[in-house]
Structures are given as C-alpha cells and as structure tokens.
Structure 1
Amino acid sequence: MANNPRAFDARAREARQLAYEATTTVGRRYSSVAEIGISLQFTLPDGKPHSSPHRRLFTPDMQAFFDVQCTDRDCSDGGFDLSPAVDSAVRSDRHEVAGHLRCRGTRSRQECGIALDYAVSVQMRDD
C-alpha cells in the first residue's frame, strides 16, 4: 500500500486540534464583530495559481482559529497564521486589510515557497 503524502504526522495533527480547541470563539475574542470574511489565493513559487481562490466566513459562534494549512501535499510543518491580519482589520477604521505571506513549511528539505495573498474584511455589529 502506498503512503498518502497528505497523511500528516499524528503528533502534528493532534497539536493542531488541541490549538483549535483551546481557541476562544470569535464573539468572545471580538465582542463587536458580526462576521469576518477572509479571501485566499495561493500561488506557486513561479507565480502560477496553486488552487482556486476561495473565501472563509467566521461568525461569532465559531472558533477564532485563523491558521490556514498549506495547500501543498508535500509540505511539512507549513501554513499561514492570519491572526495578526484579523486583529489589524478589527482595529482599523475601514475594517479591511490585505497582504501577502509565504508558507513557513518545508518540502524536500527546502523552503516550501507557496504564497498566500489574502484579504480580511470585518463586519461590525450594529449595537
């Protein structure tokens, strides 16, 4: 039977699950936020798109876990932490922020190189 290259190390998978469970909800972390939208576009090191662009929505009852896994099947310990970007969008006057991150993982003992262009938009409550 062939090894599944996407099969994560059990310890890494468990650590990620524990981090998720330890995270508070969006409503508790940001009491004035109604919804957080995060648009994601991944690109390969050569600039070609790696997967289809997509958007994730977070409501007050959801976990405030903004760690995005790398989309490369062979990447080890990779991903993108969008928590600072979300914090910045919540604090900004326009409640929007966009940026660019590189994966923090490795592939075949080299830097992964997958890039993420993101946009965070926050809708505040109408209290």
Structure 2
Amino acid sequence: MMQRRGTEASQRYEARRQREDESPRLQAEVPALESLKLEIEERRGDARNPETTYIRRIVVPSAPALFALMCGERDCEDGGHDITYPIMASLRRGQTTFEGEDVCHGSVRTTTCGRVLHYKATATYRS
C-alpha cells in the first residue's frame, strides 16, 4: 500500500512538473509585473478557521503562468486548486490586491473532499 501511494504521488508530481514546464512564463504574460505574493489559507468546508496558512512569494522572471496548488487533505485523491484563471485575469487587469476562493472537488474515501482554499494576492508593477 505504501509503495503504491508513493508511486501515485510521484506520478502526480511529474504531471504537475510537466504542466509547469509547458506553461508560458508569467513574465511573458504580464510583462509589467514586478512582484507577486499569495497569502494562502485552507480549511475544511464546514470550518470557520483555517487549518493551514502560508505565504507564497512568486519568482516572477522564472515562474510559470500557472497557479495549481495541491489540496492540503492528505487523503484527497484527484483534487487540488487550479486558480490560474482568476489570478491571471486580475494580473492582466493590473490589480494590485485581489482575493478569491476555490473548493476542492477531489474525493476522500467515499465523499467529496470539499476543502476550501482562500487566497489574497498582492502585486506590484513597473511603471
């Protein structure tokens, strides 16, 4: 069981890495973007307080224009949070602060995962 789980995890990692490699670069998509910081909170769907919080500073010159984050639920299968579209739309509009949420549609055993990811972004642009 542990070996299969490790193999599945490595396959997911490789698939994610390939998506990142094939994605256009963030700098090419939003040339004026200078910096981007994402404050991430993740919680169970029915909880009020986040279980996980972290800050992700994006290295703009080399980062892919892809914002697909793994689900924080250890037992979640086929889930995650692809927040690429709303983030890229906000960056293309030149917004300096924006936020949003995404619900995981993966599964945990026999039920939908339902973890909620909330992000708050702060961006700076060159004049």
- State the TM-score bracket (shorter-chain normalisation): 0.7 to 0.9
- The alignment's C-alpha RMSD in Å is 2.2
Considering fraction of residues, name the structure with more helix.
2
Q: Which residue of 2 aligns with 1:100?
A: 101
Aligned pairs for 1:56-95 (under 5 A) are: 56-58=56-58, 59-92=60-93, 94-95=95-96
- Shift of the 121–62 alpha-carbon distance from structure 1 to 2, 3 Å rule, reads same
Contact 1:6-1:74 at 8 Å conserved across structures: no
Q: CA deviation at 1:56?
A: 1.0
Aligned pairs for 1:1-127 (under 5 A) are: 3=2, 7=6, 9=8, 10-47=10-47, 48-51=49-52, 53-58=53-58, 59-92=60-93, 94-126=95-127
TM-score normalised by the chain length of structure 1? 0.83
Q: CA deviation at 1:93?
A: 5.3
Aligned length: 124
- Shift of the 8–29 alpha-carbon distance from structure 1 to 2, 3 Å rule, reads farther
- Provide, for residues 27-74 of structure 1, a one-character-per-residue CA deviation record: whole Å limited to 9, x for no partner: 1121111112111000112314222x1111112222222101001110
Contact 2:83-2:102 at 8 Å conserved across structures: no
Contact 1:6-1:73 at 8 Å conserved across structures: no
Letter in 2 for 1:40: I
Q: CA deviation at 1:111?
A: 0.7
Q: CA deviation at 1:6?
A: 6.5
How many Å separate the matches in 2 of 1:108 and 1:32?
Answer: 44
- Shift of the 88–96 alpha-carbon distance from structure 1 to 2, 3 Å rule, reads farther
Overall identity of the aligned pairs, in %:
22
Letter in 1 for 2:66: F
Q: CA deviation at 1:7?
A: 3.3
